Amino acid sequence: MTNLPPMAGRTAIITGANSGVGLATARALAGAGARVVSAVRSVEKGRAAGATEVRELDLASLDSVRAFAADWHDPVDLLINNAGVSVPEFRRTADGFELQLGTNHLGHFALTNLLLKHVTGRVVTLSSQAERMGRFNFDDPRDEHLRYRQTAAYNRSKLANLLFTAELQRRLTAAGSPVLAMAAHPGYVATEIYANSGAVTKLMTRLLAQSPDDGALPTLYAATADLPGNSFTGPSRFAHMIGAPELINRSAAARDPELARRLWTLSEELTETSFPL
């Protein structure tokens, strides 16, 4: 998908839009005429990346999320929950959550609920096929006893993204809202998320990964194509790692409505935010 529909008069908020897939998504939507708001931790980096409208947002701080939402008053056609982290060592957010789950899921969960009254079109959340290996321990919600492994924490956060999307769509439908919740898997993309990886992964990324422009295609497809709510889009080739976007499958866990409801309830408790409609 390379040709986007005209986007003049539409507003898109994109988290983590100063690099990688987020930046490519922002450029594509702006090129189609949209007003693109880059929601990023560093306003300076956002401006250096060429964004015309930049607002500060640190998803690892619920205070920052609340401040961003409180300062927003316009309609939002697209909320694209793009930002993500993967770190080799155990770290916590400002609110005490494990950093990957706190940033990739809980920060976006809170942001979406706080902005949802303004959203008129779609919420697109970036997940990954890594969700297939994700696991949750609801007996340890703040990871006090977590034996940290980078990949396991990342996989869990990506499963959370899909469960969040599914439960969000269920709630939107029940409320009679026309807003759609969508998820996208960018595939294997050469981005900064692999900066802390080992030598083998860095070599594979250089040889096999697609560009951020190509990695943005599933997001753009989820954001603009005629698709049902709770769609999961991803690349079409090489086990959905590269190529043109299409609808892809998800794990049994990601399709479990009870698991989705349980995670939603926990996320409400941890972030002190709730579905507003």
Catalytic residue IDs = 154
What one-character-per-residue DSSP string does 58-123 give? -TT-HHHHHHHHHT--S-EEEEEE------SS--B-TTSSBHHHIIIIIIHHHHHHHHGGGEEEEE
> Are 36 and 17 contacting, i.e. CB atoms less than 8 angstroms apart?
yes
List for the chain the helix, strand, coil content (%; round to 5): 45, 20, 40
**Taken in order 255, 133, 104, 269, is the CA torsion positive or negative?**
positive
Please report which helix (H) or strand (E) contains residue 202, including its range.
Answer: helix 199-208
Q: Which two tokens stand for residue 98?
A: 């494990």
CA distance 196 to 6: 38
Q: Which two tokens stand for residue 114?
A: 């706080």
CA distance 143 to 141: 6
- Burial of residue 14 (CB within 10 Å: 0-12, 13-18, 19+) is buried
